[in-house]
Amino acid sequence: MIARHRTRAIAGLAFAALTAASSIVLAQPEDDPVAEYRAMMGDDNPAEFWVMRGEALWTTPRGPASVSLEQCDLGMGPGVVKGAYAHLPRYFADAGEVMDLETRLLHCMVTLQGIPREEALKQRFGDGARESDFEALAAFVAEESRGQMLDVPLDNPAMEKAYALGKEMFFYRAGTHDFSCATCHGQTGVRIRLQQLPNISEAEGARAAYSGWPAYRVSQGEVRTMQWRLQDCFRQQRLPQLEFGSEASIALTTYIAHNANGAVMDAPGMKR
């Protein structure tokens, strides 16, 4: 509870700081308000509170089975968290499919802790009133890969297929506005309003975009995961809702992550 209150206080400060930074931006349109905010915060990132809560969730016995997630295999063996996020998404033989971080966490909640899938999915994103275990756990696991080099190889047919599907999704134009992911994220050096857009179809842009997720979203006062980021992109594309952990979402994450290979992971980051 104390940590939560501190989180709220920091979130409040974040809004105040962002407001201050915004007025600077009006005078100098090329400036990046979040960069200013980061500079003011120094090394402090409110995501730290999500990391702490995530670590507690990882080590606390929960669910009908009353076990912790400490035997969860994130791809480097049961219980190995260090560096695991730098090698996700990956193919998991025990599940017979490619999984990203959030999907693998869900898999462990269901198979190890015995939490019903529907119940585990209820709070996939925090909404202010209720916290999301996924966002906290993702922040914790990502923190354990900070500084590591991202390495998501297409080393088996399932990964190759996921990447190919993700690429197809990336360029898939549909809906009332004809938007695809590539409409905004397929060219270099352009922006929407004042927001600079990374070109996710090539390495430099993909690295810049991917290495900082999950991220503390200053505008929302929450840590958000890549699953959230993708879902909100499709909302803006005027398409139906991308389902959490869906095959398309994992394929797109695989496409972005593989394009970003070689990035030095720096998550949880801090984003607008």
Partner 1 sequence: MNRAFTLAGLIGAAIMLPALASAGLAGTNDGAGAVLQQSFTAKGQAGMDRLDQDEVQRLCSRAPDGPALSEKEYAEIMASQEASVRYPADGQYLGDWRAGEKIAQNGKGFQSSDDPAQPSGGNCYACHQLARGEVSYGTIGPSLYLYGKLRGNDAETQRYTYAKIYNSNAFLPCSSMPRFGHKGILDEQQIKDVVALLLDPQSPVNAE
Q: b or e along 104-123 (b: 16 or more beta carbons within 10 Å of the residue's beta carbon)?
A: bbbbbbbebbebeeeebbee
Known catalytic residue: 108?
A: no
Residue 242 dihedral angles phi and psi, to the nearest 5° = -75, 125
Q: Are 149 and 265 in contact (CB under 8 A)?
A: yes
201 lies in the binding site for partner 1 (CB under 8 A): yes
Show the CA angle centred on residue 10, arms to residues 55 and 148, nearest 5°: 45
Please report how close the Cβ of residue 234 comes to partner 1 at its closest, in angstroms: 8
Q: Which of the ranges 36-44, 50-58, 205-213, 236-244 carries the binding residues for partner 1, by CB under 8 A? A: 236-244
Please identify which residue in 33, 229, 234, 271 interacts with partner 1, judged by CB under 8 A: 234
With beta carbons less than 8 A apart as the criterion, state whether 185 and 200 touch: yes
Binding window for partner 1 (CB under 8 A); candidates: 35-43, 65-73, 76-84, 237-245 = 237-245
b (16+ CB within 10 A) / e for 126-150 = beeeebbbbbbbbbbbbbbbbebeb
Q: Indicate whether 23 belongs to the interface with partner 1 (CB under 8 A).
A: no
The nearest distance, CB 106 to partner 1, in angstroms, is 15
Q: Does 179 bind partner 1 (CB under 8 A)?
A: yes
For 80-156, where are the alpha helices, taking DSSP H only?
101-111, 117-121, 133-143
C-beta closer to partner 1: residue 88 or 162: 162
Q: Which residues are annotated as catalytic?
A: 233
Site residues (vs partner 1, CB under 8 A): 26, 29, 97, 158, 161-162, 164-165, 167-180, 183-184, 186-187, 189-195, 197, 201, 234-236, 238-243, 246-249, 251
